[in-house]
Amino acid sequence: MDRLANLAIGFVALSHVGFMVLEMFLWERPSGRRIFGKTEVQAKFSASLAANRGLYNGFLAAGLVWGLVSGSLEVKTFFLVCVVIAGIYGGMTAKRSIIFFQALPALVALALVYATR
């Protein structure tokens, strides 16, 4: 079961690397604009905000990888809880689907981490 928990954490970490790439590097490109529903003008004016958000997603991914490498329950828990909170907040303030794509996988991973204790 510990392996399943770590796979779930790895999935969440990889997802956040993907979010980082989308927000930092693809935001103004056609694929990024399509994914986020932005016009060319909207993407241009919000690019620095998106890059900032992408950087935070990169830090979340790095923290989750740190938890996997160190095996620390505390580190895993801290970063998974951060992802859950960020996902809920994003779902309430930006786009409801963030809850399902960000918060829910982290919540499942967190449950698996504690189910293996």
List pLDDT tens digits, range 38-97.
Answer: 999 999 999 999 999 999 999 999 999 999 999 999 999 999 999 999 999 999 998 899
Q: For 94, which DSSP code? A: T
Half-sphere exposure of 13 (CA within 13 A, CB side): 17
**Cβ count near 40 (within 10 Å):** 11
What is the 8-class DSSP label of residue 39?
A: -
**Structure confidence at residue 12 (pLDDT):** 98
Query: Residue written as tokens 């698996």?
Result: 112
Give the 3-state secondary structure of residue 27: coil
pTM of the predicted model as reported, rounded to 2 decimal places = 0.93
Q: Which amino acid is at 113?
A: V
Per-residue model confidence (pLDDT) at position 14? 98
Owner of token pair 């490109």: 29
Q: How far is residue 108's CA from residue 96's CA, in Å, rounded to a whole number?
A: 18
Query: DSSP label at 101?
Result: I
